Amino acid sequence: MLYFFRLLFFLIKIDQETLLNWFGIEDPANGDISQMDEGEYDLNILNFETSTNISLTTFRLIIEGLLEKVQDGLTLADIENVLFFILFIRFIILGLRYNLKTSFYITCIGLFAGYLWYRHLIDLISMYRNVLIKLPFLHKLGMDAVQLRSLHREMVLTDLKLGENARWYNPGQVTYFAFAKGIINIDPETGLRYYIDPISMFISNLPESYKVKIIPFYYKVYNKLIPKVFQICSKFWNQISGIATYAFITRIGKRYCPYLIRWHWTLLLIIGVVEQIFIYFIYRVQYFQTAVLIPQTNSYGDYLDPNVVLQINFLDGLLACLLLAHIGFVIFGLFHAILGQYFYVPFFVENTELHIGPRPASSIYSGGQTAWQDPEEKEKSLNRLFPKLWYGWFGRGTKYEWPWKKLLKKIFKILRKQFRR
């Protein structure tokens, strides 16, 4: 029981109201009070409990509230709430098992690995936004993607005009706008703009005969060449920044980068190569619908040919299945990363571990289990014609027996004995 005193470090009152507010779920008790008539109010405040302790009813209310919210469509806010709740619960469990310092390190490792999958999820819904809006269950997710894209465009336009929204995590943009703002000075009286950098000051002190020849070339360099070079470097950096960051953290800093982060990051890069096939296939299907099938309508918007209706319905179902499978797989990897676990995908996992090696079993920061790396399993995989597709939940292996399986086996044995009599 003394381990529970470690929870005092959180300085958070954890009760039913706190958990329900975290997920944005209304407490039924508060709803009953708000529906009472004026004559039914009890003025004695002590008769009302503002919050109750956590119980099985709390988790039942959370599950019912989440199911009710998800029925209208999944949003990014719902995913974030569930992820941070899992991180918080995991932090508490690891704090009780080890200590607060170790729990913080392990939780941060899972958070960083999950952030990689979450950024990939945002990129996917941004690319699929036009298709997601048409699907009922993923409509809100598509709206979130449209809002994020419009916000990003607004920030880019504002940065190009003023440069006031440049942030520390974008050092190239900060350096460019600091340099541009430092060398440009505007006269408040005349409104004229002139440069105060050493090159401009040197040219301003030249004789008039030299200025006539040099100034046209000078303005071409400052107004056209430098912005064009910066634009080219920015596009090049946007293309190579992901690989450069990966190489710097997981290759150069391999000694300081946990295995869990390296594993999930490498797997994401390898999967990204194959993902382009599905992404462009969905683009082509959507283009075929909008450019070929949809124009085959009359003035009332009805389809004259039943075969066209069949094709559109078939393609809608195909798009829905592909999107759900793709986004579901990314969310599946996201939850594994948050929980510090691994999962097996044939061909991709083998190539991932060829790059980063096997999991160090001696470290508590390396995450969950990888049953496919066991020596016995490796020998069996060499003799298989087709790869094994499933290695149990969280990579535990198929030999692991859950308690409910043992209970079912005992019940089955008892029933079999009864029938034999």
Joined tokens for residue 332 = 């599946």
- 291 has pLDDT over 90: no
Closest CA to 203 of 188, 221, 189, 191: 221
More confident residue, 10 or 281: 281
- 283 has pLDDT over 70: yes
Paired with 303 in beta bridges are 297
- Residue 90: which residues within 8 A CB-CB, separation 6 or more? 107, 110, 338, 339, 340
More confident residue, 56 or 150: 150
- Prediction pTM value: 0.69
Task: Tell me how far CA of residue 289 lies from CA of 113, 212, 279, 285, in angstroms.
Answer: 37, 60, 16, 6
Closest CA to 339 of 56, 113, 169: 113
Candidate ranges 74-88, 107-121, 229-243, 290-304; pick with highest mean pLDDT: 107-121
Q: Minimum mean pLDDT among 61-65, 313-317, 387-391: which range?
A: 61-65
The pLDDT assigned to 162 comes to 45
The percentage of the chain sitting over the pLDDT mark of 70, rounded to a whole number, equals 69
Paired with 194 in beta bridges are 185
Q: 42: pLDDT confidence band, cut at 50, 70 and 90?
A: very low
Listed in sequence order, the DSSP H helices in 289-384 are 306-338, 348-356, 375-383
Closest CA to 329 of 283, 387, 370, 271: 271
Joined tokens for residue 179 = 């340099």
- Per-domain boundaries in the chain: 1-71, 72-357
- 165 has pLDDT over 50: yes
Q: Minimum mean pLDDT among 44-48, 167-171, 369-373: which range?
A: 44-48
- 342 has pLDDT over 80: yes
pLDDT digits (tens, 9 = 90+) for 255-269: 889 999 999 999 999
The percentage of the chain sitting over the pLDDT mark of 90, rounded to a whole number, equals 13
Contact predicate 215/207, CB 8 Å = no
Paired with 297 in beta bridges are 303
- Residue 186: which residues within 8 A CB-CB, separation 6 or more? 192, 193
Number of Cβ within 10 Å of residue 259's Cβ equals 21
Output the 3-class SS for 121-156: HHHHHHHCHHHHCCCCCCHHHHHHHHHHHHHHHHHH
More confident residue, 196 or 170: 196
Q: What does the mean pLDDT of the chain come to?
A: 76
More confident residue, 4 or 59: 59
pLDDT digits (tens, 9 = 90+) for 224-234: 888 788 788 87
The pLDDT assigned to 153 comes to 63
Number of Cβ within 10 Å of residue 198's Cβ equals 9
More confident residue, 404 or 212: 212
Paired with 246 in beta bridges are none
Q: 19: pLDDT confidence band, cut at 50, 70 and 90?
A: low
